[in-house]
Structure 1
Amino acid sequence: MSKRDRELITELKAVLISQQYSPVVIRNYCAYAQEFLDCLAQRKILVADVTKARVERYLCDAIALFRRHRGRRPGPRWQQIPCAGIHALLRLVQGQWPPAPKATCAADALRFTICDEYETWLREERGFARPSIDAFLSEARHFLAWQLERCGANDLRIWASATSTGIWTCVR
């Protein structure tokens, strides 16, 4: 384990303590984050360069390793524990995890703009806490994806400019 990895785990532990996680959860998150860092070091991958695909691959490998060691597959929700520890580590290093999606077309860019404005409105005008904002944004993203599929990008542009909040009412 490199000095930088030890510093990351120490910093992760401090963040988890400040967020009042239980000692057992802190120990588990840090242990799984450490195993992930060791895997990255073996492959000479920087934590800052980790992608969602790399995390998914690691978790598949972890399930296979669990099966080899114990002779059975882990429980259906086992993956949530290592995943949560790895995600906490990646949020610490990269600032945001999972990474924000990239716009692949004009409609995506419009949806992202609407969601960014909605997030600002929820935070500044309504004063919601981060978990509430995340929940509302998740619903808004699903709604906008459905609306885009239903109406197309041109109708979405008209719809977004015709509504005051840009989210909850549909003109058609």
Structure 2
Amino acid sequence: MSDFLPQRSALIFQFEEHLARTRYSSTASKRYLAVAGHFLKYIEGLHMSIDAVQPSHVTKYLTRELRQFSRRHGRAPVSVDHWRGSHTAGVHQFLQCVVGPWPPSATAGSPNGAYRQALCAEYAQWLRERRGLAAETISERTAEAGRFLSWYGERNKTGTLSSVAIADVDAYLQSRAPSLRRVSRKGVAQRMRCFLRFAYATGTTERDFALCVMAPTLYAFESIPSALSPDQVDAVMQTSRNDQSPKGLRDYAILLLLATYGLRAGEITRLQLNDIDWRADRIFVRHTKTGSQSILPLMPAVGEALLAYLRRGRPKTDVREIFIRMRAPYRRFESGSSLYTLTRRRLDAAGVQPDGKRGPHAFRHARAVSLLRDGTPMKIIGDVLGHRSASSTSVYLKLATEDLRDVALDIPGRTQEEQT
């Protein structure tokens, strides 16, 4: 057992440095270090190296620790879920530090999992090099391909697409359909067509099954995107501005970026410190969906909100993204979807209950409508929103149908009374 002591000390020291570097609180650091020490002793008792640890070992360790807690205290923890969550977090953070990504993918080691990962990686490269698509679009399409491959692998012994048939494609689309609206089902069909074209072009399948994918028909101006009213936006902004906590300062700055510029959530989460030109009062935006770039004026209210957050709300960290999570480890938001909960929480706090979407895009739609009502040309609105084509911008006309009455054309040959 003494042979393990130097290794244990080195690993604990490595973990301690990691916790300090990522600025965990002293309380959390002590708890995680204690859990890591107990877990290392457990692994040593199994005469196992840390690299050989599997999720099953963590599960068995937690079961043993819970049993020992009950013996020591004569009772179970006040909250078993809280106890288990705290200990699990400590073990996972430790293993992420000394081993790498943890917990490992449940299917990465299986034949189907390895095949799926390799094919999705090849697909992503094909989308990037052959199609020239934006990173966000590539992520969406590879995610759909991964879902299909996982679904197919569970139903096919070979695990590969060598024997895929039209019936398999139809069955997958049917399995996805019940929980989706028609526009979403069309999106799934389009992503599947793209993946199946890739599979045929690269010889993965012998037939181009993309031609067999059926999608629902959508009509022009069929669906109306939801948007917050000006009064709702003002209510959310006022309530958020009153919260001067670090999280409140961060959330207010994010909401102001949404409401002022109509940015996509992913564009906000990717903003970096050097994207703000304080001397020239400009903000540099990378449009995640189109791959284009914009330079927008830094409005005074936005600048003040950003400064307040940077000075009094943002934890000290080496992360270059402006907006980061408020609990250690201080990391950037993984994606734009991370802002959905934040936005919904602020809507609820303001007592705003919109009929449609309640995420960041509701602010984007509201900004588009406000620009339309101010008489801003469609081309400029498209540039502000980062649209590549005019058709992407024209969809917002559906939200301002009442305003179209002001530009109604006179009908030749009829009097004003007849027209009314």
Q: Give TM-score scaled by structure 2 length.
A: 0.31
The amino acid across from 1:67 in the alignment is: S
Listed as ranges, the gaps of 5+ residues in structure 2 are: 128-133, 170-191, 200-212, 215-420
- Whole-angstrom distance in 2 between the partners of 1:7 and 1:81: 23
CA, structure 1 residues 73+116, in 2 after alignment: closer, same or farther (shift >3 Å)? farther
Matches within 5 A, 1:110-129: 110-116=115-121, 126=135
Shift in Å, 1:58:
0.5
Q: Is the 8 A contact 1:87 1:98 kept in 2?
A: yes
Q: Is the 8 A contact 1:32 1:86 kept in 2?
A: yes
Shift in Å, 1:87:
1.3
Q: Is the 8 A contact 2:39 2:91 kept in 1?
A: yes
Shift in Å, 1:43:
2.2
- Whole-angstrom distance in 1 between the partners of 2:70 and 2:120: 41
Q: Is the 8 A contact 2:12 2:37 kept in 1?
A: yes
Shift in Å, 1:91:
1.7
Aligned residues: 155
CA, structure 1 residues 20+115, in 2 after alignment: closer, same or farther (shift >3 Å)? farther
Q: Which residue is equivalent to 1:95?
A: 100
Shift in Å, 1:11:
0.9
The amino acid across from 2:66 in the alignment is: I
Shift in Å, 1:141:
9.0
In the TM superposition, what whole-angstrom CA distance separates every residue of 1:122-166 from its partner, at most 9, and x where no partner exists?
A: xxx548xxxxx9xx8xx76984466437986645998433379xx
Q: Is the 8 A contact 1:48 1:94 kept in 2?
A: yes
The amino acid across from 1:81 in the alignment is: S
Shift in Å, 1:116:
4.1
Q: Which residue is equivalent to 1:161?
A: 196
1:69 aligns with 2:76: no
Shift in Å, 1:10:
1.2
1:43 aligns with 2:46: yes
Shift in Å, 1:30:
0.7
- Which one is further off, 22-31 or 42-51? 42-51
What secondary structure is seen at the aligned counterpart in 1 of 2:61?
helix
Q: Please identify the structure whose Cα radius of gyration is greater.
A: 2
Q: Is the 8 A contact 1:33 1:89 kept in 2?
A: yes
Q: Give TM-score scaled by structure 1 length.
A: 0.69
- Whole-angstrom distance in 1 between the partners of 2:144 and 2:70: 39
The amino acid across from 1:80 in the alignment is: G
Q: Which structure is higher in helix share?
A: 1
Instruction: Say which structure, 1 or 2, has more relative contact order (CA 8 Å, 6+ apart).
Output: 1
Listed as ranges, the gaps of 5+ residues in structure 1 are: 128-132, 165-170
Q: Which residue is equivalent to 2:16?
A: 13
In the TM superposition, what whole-angstrom CA distance separates every residue of 1:80-128 from its partner, at most 9, and x where no partner exists?
A: 11111111221222222122421333xx34422355468888xxx548x
> Which one of the candidate residues 146, 152, 163 is aligned to 1:148?
152
- Which one is further off, 68-77 or 111-120? 111-120
Q: Is the 8 A contact 2:14 2:98 kept in 1?
A: no
In the TM superposition, what whole-angstrom CA distance separates every residue of 1:34-83 from its partner, at most 9, and x where no partner exists?
A: 00001112221111111111111101111111111222223222111111
- Whole-angstrom distance in 2 between the partners of 1:147 and 1:66: 41
> Which one of the candidate residues 52, 56, 79 is aligned to 2:59?
56
Matches within 5 A, 1:121-140: 126=135
**For the aligned residues, what is the CA RMSD?**
3.7
